[in-house]
């Protein structure tokens, strides 16, 4: 069992922007600092330099043409959970309790 407050590097993660059809996984970095993003089971995302916010508030941009040259796009619950479901390595490393806590929290965040 992994505590939901544990942090994991957000890597090999499909773009969760609503409507983006890119299926490639990326290691995501903070646009303000260029440092890696970390995610926890409490629905928080942070970078190595201290940026910290709810996952639902993060704008996403991958190299796909969907983003029209770098426009940040928000995610929705379905897109985010789909991206998580494709990242089997993260879910295996984090464990079922952590993943369940994250999905529950994402439901709360996106319902606002």
For residue 81 the two structure tokens come to 């959970």
Dihedral over Cα of 39, 104, 99, 20: its sign: negative
> Which percentage of the chain shows pLDDT scores above 70?
91
Given a cut of 70, the residues of the chain with pLDDT beneath it are: 1, 69-72, 112
Kindly report, residue by residue over 19-49, the tens digit of the pLDDT: 888 888 888 888 888 899 999 999 999 998 9
| pLDDT value of position 112 | 58
The answer to whether 97 touches 1, Cβ cutoff 8 Å, is yes
Dihedral over Cα of 87, 18, 79, 58: its sign: positive
Concatenate the DSSP letters of all residues of 7-57 into one string. EEE--SEE--BTT-----EE--B-TTT-PBEEEETTSEEEETT--EEEGGG
Query: What SS3 state is found at 63?
Result: coil
| pLDDT value of position 50 | 86
| pLDDT value of position 110 | 93
């Amino acid at each position: 069992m992994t505590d939901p407050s544990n942090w994991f590097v957000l890597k090999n993660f499909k773009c969760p922007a609503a409507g983006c059809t890119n299926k490639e996984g990326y290691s995501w970095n903070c646009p303000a600092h260029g440092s890696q993003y970390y995610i926890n089971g409490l629905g928080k995302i942070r970078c190595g330099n201290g940026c910290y916010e709810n996952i639902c508030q993060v704008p996403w941009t991958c190299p796909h043409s969907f983003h029209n040259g770098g426009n940040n796009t928000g995610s929705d619950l379905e897109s985010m959970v789909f991206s998580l479901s494709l990242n089997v390595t993260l879910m295996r490393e984090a464990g079922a309790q952590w993943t369940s806590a994250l999905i529950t929290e994402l439901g709360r965040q996106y319902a606002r």
